[in-house]
Chain A
Amino acid sequence: MEQFAALLDALVYTSSRNAKLKLLADYLRRTPDPDRGWALAALTGGLDFPAVKSAAIRNLLMERVDPVLYALSRDYVGDTAETASLLWPEPADPPSPPSVAEAVDILSGMTRASVARELPALLDRLDANGRYALLKLATGAMRIGISARLAKTAFAQAFAVPLDDVEEYWHGQAAPYAPLFDWAAHGAEPPSGKDLPLFRPFMLAHPLEETAVDMADFAAEWKWDGIRVQIVRAGDETRVYSRSGDDISGAFPEIAAALAVPAVLDGELLVRGSHQGGEEGGAASFNALQQRLGRKTVSRKMLEDYPAFVRLYDLLIHADEDLRAHAWEQRRLLLEEFAAGLDPARFDLSPVIAAASLDELAAIRERARDEAIEGVMLKRRDSPYVAGRRTGLWYKWKRDPLLVDCVLMYAQRGSGKRSSFYSDYTFGCWDGDPDAGAELLPVGKAYFGFTDEELRWLDSYVRRHTVNRFGPVRETDKSLVLEVAFDSVHESRRHKSGLAMRFPRIARIRTDKPAHEADRIETLRNMVRD
Chain B
Amino acid sequence: MAAAFSWIRAEPHGIHIVPGNCWIDPARPVDTALVTHGHSDHARGGHHRTVATPATLAIMALRYETRINTVPVEYGETIALPGGVAATFVPAGHVLGSAQIVLEHAGERVVVTGDYKRRADPTCAPFQPVPCDVFVTEATFGLPVFRHPPVEEEIGRLLAARAANPDRCVLVGAYALGKAQRLIAELRLAGHAAPIYLHGALERMCRLYEELGIDLGDLRLVAGMAKGALAGQIVLAPPSALGDRWSRRLPDPITAMASGWMRIRQRARQRNVELPLIVSDHADWDELTDTIREVDPAETWITHGREEALLRWCELDQRKVRALALVGYEDEDD
Interfacial chain B residues near A69, Cβ < 8 Å: 143-144, 309, 312-313
Report Cα–Cα, A72/B275, bound state, in Å: 27
Report Cα–Cα, A65/B145, bound state, in Å: 11
Interfacial chain B residues near A65, Cβ < 8 Å: 144
Min CB gap B333→A, angstroms? 15
CB < 8 Å: which of B145, B268, B272 contacts A86? B145
> Given known contacts A66-B316, A76-B145, is B270 in contact with A417 (CB within 8 Å)?
yes
The 0/1 profile, CB within 8 Å of B marked 1, for residues 9-24 of chain A is: 1001111000000000
Evaluate contact between A13 and B266: CB separation under 8 angstroms.
no
Size category of the binding interface on chain A: 20 to 34
Which one of A9, A13, A132, A416 has the highest number of Cβ atoms from chain B below 10 Å of its Cβ?
A13
Interfacial chain A residues near B272, Cβ < 8 Å: 15
Q: Which of A234-272 contact B (CB under 8 A)?
A: none
> Given known contacts A14-B274, A65-B144, is B268 in contact with A72 (CB within 8 Å)?
no
Interfacial chain A residues near B306, Cβ < 8 Å: 72, 76
Evaluate contact between B312 and A417: CB separation under 8 angstroms.
no
Interfacial chain A residues near B264, Cβ < 8 Å: 76-77, 82, 419
Min CB gap A87→B, angstroms? 6
Evaluate contact between B145 and A87: CB separation under 8 angstroms.
yes
The 0/1 profile, CB within 8 Å of B marked 1, for residues 55-91 of chain A is: 0000000000110110011001111001100110000
Interfacial chain B residues near A419, Cβ < 8 Å: 264, 266-267
Report Cα–Cα, A521/B264, bound state, in Å: 42
Report Cα–Cα, A164/B318, bound state, in Å: 63
Q: Which of B253-307 contact A (CB under 8 A)?
A: 263-270, 272-276, 306
Task: Flag whether A274 is at the interface (Cβ < 8 A).
Answer: no
Interfacial chain A residues near B330, Cβ < 8 Å: none
Min CB gap B200→A, angstroms? 26
> Given known contacts A77-B264, A417-B266, is B312 in contact with A68 (CB within 8 Å)?
yes
Interfacial chain A residues near B269, Cβ < 8 Å: 12-13, 15, 417
> Given known contacts A78-B266, A86-B147, is B312 in contact with A72 (CB within 8 Å)?
yes
Report Cα–Cα, A518/B273, bound state, in Å: 40
Report Cα–Cα, A177/B165, bound state, in Å: 34
Interfacial chain B residues near A72, Cβ < 8 Å: 143, 306, 308-309, 312
Interfacial chain B residues near A87, Cβ < 8 Å: 144-145
Interfacial chain A residues near B308, Cβ < 8 Å: 72
Task: Flag whether A420 is at the interface (Cβ < 8 A).
Answer: yes
We find that the number of chain B residues with CB closer than 8 angstroms to chain A is 24
Min CB gap A85→B, angstroms? 9
Min CB gap A81→B, angstroms? 10
Min CB gap A237→B, angstroms? 42
Min CB gap B147→A, angstroms? 7
Evaluate contact between A82 and B312: CB separation under 8 angstroms.
no
Report Cα–Cα, A79/B306, bound state, in Å: 18
CB < 8 Å: which of A13, A66, A82 contacts B276? A13
Min CB gap B187→A, angstroms? 21
Evaluate contact between B143 and A73: CB separation under 8 angstroms.
yes
The 0/1 profile, CB within 8 Å of B marked 1, for residues 274-305 of chain A is: 00000000000000000000000000000000
Report Cα–Cα, A66/B143, bound state, in Å: 12
Min CB gap B143→A, angstroms? 5
Evaluate contact between A66 and B266: CB separation under 8 angstroms.
no
Interfacial chain A residues near B266, Cβ < 8 Å: 77-79, 416-420
Report Cα–Cα, A77/B312, bound state, in Å: 18
Min CB gap B302→A, angstroms? 14
Interfacial chain A residues near B268, Cβ < 8 Å: 12-13
Considering only CB atoms, which chain A residue lies closest to B315 in the complex? Answer: A68
Considering only CB atoms, which chain A residue lies closest to B261 in the complex? Answer: A420
Q: Which of A12-61 contact B (CB under 8 A)?
A: 12-15
Interfacial chain B residues near A76, Cβ < 8 Å: 143, 145, 264, 306
Min CB gap B233→A, angstroms? 21
Q: Which of A386-435 contact B (CB under 8 A)?
A: 416-420
Evaluate contact between A86 and B312: CB separation under 8 angstroms.
no
Q: Which of A124-140 contact B (CB under 8 A)?
A: 132
Interfacial chain B residues near A77, Cβ < 8 Å: 145, 264, 266
CB < 8 Å: which of A66, A68, A83, A416 contacts B145? A83
Considering only CB atoms, which chain B residue lies closest to A79 in the complex? Answer: B266
Which one of A12, A72, A416 has the highest number of Cβ atoms from chain B below 10 Å of its Cβ?
A72
Considering only CB atoms, which chain A residue lies closest to B264 in the complex? Answer: A77
Report Cα–Cα, A266/B273, bound state, in Å: 42
Min CB gap A396→B, angstroms? 31
CB < 8 Å: which of A13, A82, A83, A132 contacts B273? A13
Which one of B268, B275, B308 has the highest number of Cβ atoms from chain A below 10 Å of its Cβ?
B308
Evaluate contact between B273 and A73: CB separation under 8 angstroms.
no
Evaluate contact between A73 and B309: CB separation under 8 angstroms.
yes
Interfacial chain A residues near B263, Cβ < 8 Å: 86
The 0/1 profile, CB within 8 Å of A marked 1, for residues 144-157 of chain B is: 11110000000000
Interfacial chain B residues near A418, Cβ < 8 Å: 266
Min CB gap A19→B, angstroms? 9
Min CB gap A216→B, angstroms? 46
Report Cα–Cα, A78/B269, bound state, in Å: 13
Min CB gap B140→A, angstroms? 13
Report Cα–Cα, A13/B143, bound state, in Å: 23
Interfacial chain B residues near A78, Cβ < 8 Å: 266
Evaluate contact between A420 and B145: CB separation under 8 angstroms.
no
Given A15-B269, A77-B264, A86-B145, 20 more A-B residue pairs with CB atoms under 8 Å apart are A12-B265, A13-B268, A66-B312, A69-B144, A72-B306, A72-B308, A72-B309, A73-B144, A73-B145, A76-B143, A82-B264, A82-B265, A83-B145, A86-B144, A86-B146, A87-B145, A417-B266, A417-B270, A419-B266, A420-B267
29 contacts between A and B (CB under 8 A): A9-B265, A12-B268, A13-B269, A13-B274, A66-B313, A66-B316, A68-B312, A69-B312, A69-B313, A73-B143, A76-B145, A76-B306, A77-B145, A77-B264, A78-B266, A82-B264, A82-B265, A83-B145, A86-B144, A86-B146, A86-B147, A86-B263, A132-B265, A416-B266, A417-B266, A417-B269, A417-B270, A418-B266, A420-B267
- Interface residues, chain A, with chain B CB atoms under 8 Å away: 9, 12-15, 65-66, 68-69, 72-73, 76-79, 82-83, 86-87, 132, 416-420
The 10 closest A-B pairs by CB, nearest first: A86-B145, A72-B309, A419-B266, A73-B145, A68-B312, A12-B265, A13-B274, A73-B143, A417-B266, A69-B144
